[in-house]
Chains A and B, each alone.
Chain A
Amino acid sequence: MATNGKPKFAMYWAAACGGCEISVLNIHEKILDVDANFDVVFWPVAMDSKYKDVEAMPDQSILLTLFNGGIRNEENEEIAHLLRKKSQLLVAFGSCASEGGIPALANLGTRQSIFETAYFTVSTENPAQVYPQSTYEAPEGELHIPRIYPVLKTLDQVVPVDYYMPGCPPEPHQISAVIDLVIQVLQGKAELPPKGSVIGAGMSTVCDECTRKRNEKKLKKFVRIQDVETIDPELCLLEQGIPCNGPATRSGCNARCPSVGAQCVGCYGPAEGVIDYGARLMSSFASVIDSNDPEEVDRILNGIPDPAGQFYRFNLAKSILRASRYAWKGE
């Protein structure tokens, strides 16, 4: 245990953008509660800390680890194993760790195609066809960079995870609520939810917390948001034909995007009880299409130009599909 007797806290980012960390900082003064109740032992964004220090800790000595980012390369996975070993409670924090997030859209293609794109863009001059190498013999000695995996994995695809906290990023008020809960548990005033639970989110859908007016939905077409003359500020976006992911998405964000006229993009992941997010969203959309004529239905569905991205924007890695077979072939 920590020398000061406080339980230990860690936070780590793998293949992430840093937005989860910024969201934690956006709890503002609440961060002082974290400091008062925990001994922060590893949090690269906020403090000096080294892998070696974590390696030296006894197993299970960290009470709570918030792990954000997906598993894109071998280094991400190594740290995931290390933190799993050292932590009593490992939380997949944010969309990427929970479900892959936006970077998991890369699972639709191959690792090779990522390289062929990145190192041969229109502004790249690469006549010698150079690719980065995980091991390279420089004149002065050998250099290493981590090997990138063929598919991006979620945290629970490489280590067991205790809790999931969705959101891209999780909203500050939800982070505060989870911190309060853990502090209450430490004080014996509350109990932890069952292992495997989703925490820091609601139990229903974004639609249920959206203040927009809802009527019976009957869609004759889907529209692209830029083609809408005036987005009705009061009416349900889906009823306006804008493909809003609210019906399949877990509540918890206060319907933030729809409240400013932008469609829900699904960052809070599948609603409670939903196994495959995309399948649920497809059935939600299908149920509001106002036609029984197969040709008309086709025409209406053509209003969604990118079904894979629409239905699996944040959660391809966690879906039943997980990745295209071309991506798997690179394994």
Chain B
Amino acid sequence: MDKQRITIDPITRLEGHGKIEIFLNEKGEVENTYFQIPELRGFERFCVGRPVEEMPILTNRICGVCPEAHHMAAAKAADAVYHVDPPSTAKKLRELLYSAFYVTDHATHFYALAGPDFVMGPDAPVAERNILGVIHKVGLETGGKVIQARKYGHDVIEKIGGRKVHPCTAIPGGQTTGITEEQRQEIEKMGRWAVEFAQFSLGLFNDIVLGNKAYVDLILGDIYTHATYYIGVVDDQNLVNFYDGNVSVVAPDGERIGKYAPSEYRDWIAERVEPWTYLKFPYLKKVGWKGFVDGKDSGVYCATPLSRLNAADGMATPLAQEQYEKFYSVLGGKPVHQRLATHWARLIELLYAAERWVELATDPEITSTNFHTVPTETPTEGVGIVEAPRGTLTHHYWTDERGVLTRVNLIVGTTNNYAPISMSVKKAAQNLIKKGTKVTEPVLNMIEMAFRAYDPCFGCATHSLPGQMPLQVTIHDVDGEVIDVVRRD
């Protein structure tokens, strides 16, 4: 047997580095791929024994790129533990912070991470295929706007959450503080700017990507397509919502097979352990785990911006709804399975988040001082779900009668997508590496694009500056001899 191995290590970093192992068979074709996550910190264990009101602070530290998502899911789970319904001002403040966070997060991803592939082209020289290249091509003014979007988003997070990173104001029953009229006015002004910025971004996508047949073909092509289930939080009108609602589950044929309330998640979602990675693989329990395959019989599902659009009936704000309709009319109806369309879906969510930011900032209740309800019931058990930018985020807590945690279960955003990401990597590798293929840097980038669409949290790394992942592929023969090294310089 003359099997070969290709190692991509590190692909990027957030929690340690992800690592891809590609095994070739004797024909020189891709036999299998393994996408490994080499880190485990054990939050589910060491949060036990802590008071439940600390969870919004403790679980922030799962991810410093999206602590806002953990802060919200934890606060909602803690509300549920205490059976307390926070005043509407508290919920609106949380959602306002969260909307501003989405604008920051989605904008950064599009411009720094995904943008370079499309604006510069997947096979552009490495030195140009980064955020600086994007800025040179679309103009310095655009770069300034991206920085401004980041700044404004973090300003709002700090005003409501107290800190730019790791907010601290959500507690069981509501918030520790509200906002003043003066702060509200600033937040509104920044939100209006964000709506314009989102529209500008969609315009840019329209001109550069949709106006280029080669890119449209790439999006619609088979390499980056998987027919899986999709999940996403929707409101009672079945419209996309990031902060609150039930989780809609849609089959590969587009049929909604059900919706679950946060407390029912265990009827729907199960997780699988594999011995070669520290991260688990969630799947739809009702369908079952059938391996790393797509289709209606496989419980593999996806939870991304694309999934949320597929799982909903529309967007709750007018401008985003227009874009939603255009999205499905251009891509040929629902559901859309082409993973690269996730980038477009993300921009539609960016617009929704900005519109929602303005709606909430102009809500007459938002400056009310009624932002907390003291819990009166004995704490027991509760589940909180929000949509993190990278997927449905579930926090489930059990406490004793003092509200001290006795058990914790977390299903984190990116984890939802671990199986589909693994499948996308394998499919891209199989399509791109054939017998005799010289594994060049552009080929590696095309494989990377497969998981970049999911904006995986272990890829949040590239959320910044040049958007360039460290990559090195070493090809070994069966004796471990290095026969080829491809690296990014």
Stretch touching chain A among B316-324, B336-344, B351-359, B457-465: B457-465
Task: Decide if A103 is an interface residue (CB 8 Å cutoff).
Answer: yes
Instruction: Name the one of B43, B161, B275 contacting A136, with C-beta atoms under 8 angstroms.
Output: B275
Bound-state Cα–Cα, A224 to B53, Å:
8
Known: A224-B53, A262-B168. A132 touches B16 (CB 8 A): no
Known: A18-B63, A44-B470, A114-B40. A73 touches B23 (CB 8 A): no
Contacts of A109 in B (CB 8 A): 45-46
Bound-state Cα–Cα, A16 to B458, Å:
12
Is the CB–CB distance between A28 and B147 below 8 Å? Answer: yes
Contacts of A230 in B (CB 8 A): 372
Contacts of A20 in B (CB 8 A): 64
Task: Decide if B51 is an interface residue (CB 8 Å cutoff).
Answer: yes
Task: Decide if B87 is an interface residue (CB 8 Å cutoff).
Answer: no
From B66, which residue of chain A is reached at the shortest CB distance?
Answer: A18
Is the CB–CB distance between B61 and A101 below 8 Å? Answer: yes
Task: Decide if A49 is an interface residue (CB 8 Å cutoff).
Answer: yes
Is the CB–CB distance between B51 and A305 below 8 Å? Answer: yes
Number of A-B contacts (CB under 8 A): 263
Task: Decide if B348 is an interface residue (CB 8 Å cutoff).
Answer: no
Contacts of A132 in B (CB 8 A): 40, 273-278
Task: Decide if A145 is an interface residue (CB 8 Å cutoff).
Answer: yes
From A225, which residue of chain B is reached at the shortest CB distance?
Answer: B171
Minimum Cβ distance to chain B for residue A158 (Å): 16
Task: Decide if A13 is an interface residue (CB 8 Å cutoff).
Answer: yes
From B407, which residue of chain A is reached at the shortest CB distance?
Answer: A122
Contacts of A131 in B (CB 8 A): 273, 275
Number of residues on chain B facing chain A (CB within 8 A): 103
Bound-state Cα–Cα, A306 to B47, Å:
11
Stretch touching chain A among B30-38, B133-141, B194-202, B245-253: B30-38
Task: Decide if A221 is an interface residue (CB 8 Å cutoff).
Answer: no
Stretch touching chain B among A176-184, A253-261, A268-276: A253-261
Bound-state Cα–Cα, A121 to B10, Å:
29
**Which residues from 1 to 40 on chain A have a C-beta closer than 8 Å to any C-beta of chain B?**
13, 15-23, 25-26, 28
Is the CB–CB distance between A123 and B266 below 8 Å? Answer: yes
Task: Decide if B365 is an interface residue (CB 8 Å cutoff).
Answer: no
Task: Decide if A90 is an interface residue (CB 8 Å cutoff).
Answer: no
Minimum Cβ distance to chain B for residue A330 (Å): 13
Bound-state Cα–Cα, A143 to B151, Å:
42
Task: Decide if B14 is an interface residue (CB 8 Å cutoff).
Answer: yes
Task: Decide if B296 is an interface residue (CB 8 Å cutoff).
Answer: no
Contacts of B274 in A (CB 8 A): 130, 132
Task: Decide if A133 is an interface residue (CB 8 Å cutoff).
Answer: yes
Is the CB–CB distance between A260 and B38 below 8 Å? Answer: no
Contacts of A130 in B (CB 8 A): 273-275
The 8 A-B pairs at the shortest CB distance, nearest first, are namely A19-B64, A260-B162, A114-B42, A261-B176, A140-B23, A17-B64, A46-B465, A18-B64
24 inter-chain pairs at a CB distance below 8 angstroms, sorted by A residue, are: A16-B64, A17-B60, A17-B61, A19-B60, A20-B64, A21-B464, A23-B165, A26-B164, A46-B464, A48-B471, A50-B487, A72-B41, A114-B42, A119-B273, A122-B266, A123-B270, A125-B285, A143-B36, A148-B40, A172-B164, A233-B177, A260-B168, A262-B171, A305-B402
Given A140-B5, A260-B168: 15 more A-B contacts, CB < 8 Å: A17-B60, A22-B165, A28-B151, A44-B17, A45-B464, A47-B465, A101-B61, A105-B47, A123-B265, A125-B289, A132-B278, A229-B374, A230-B372, A305-B51, A306-B54
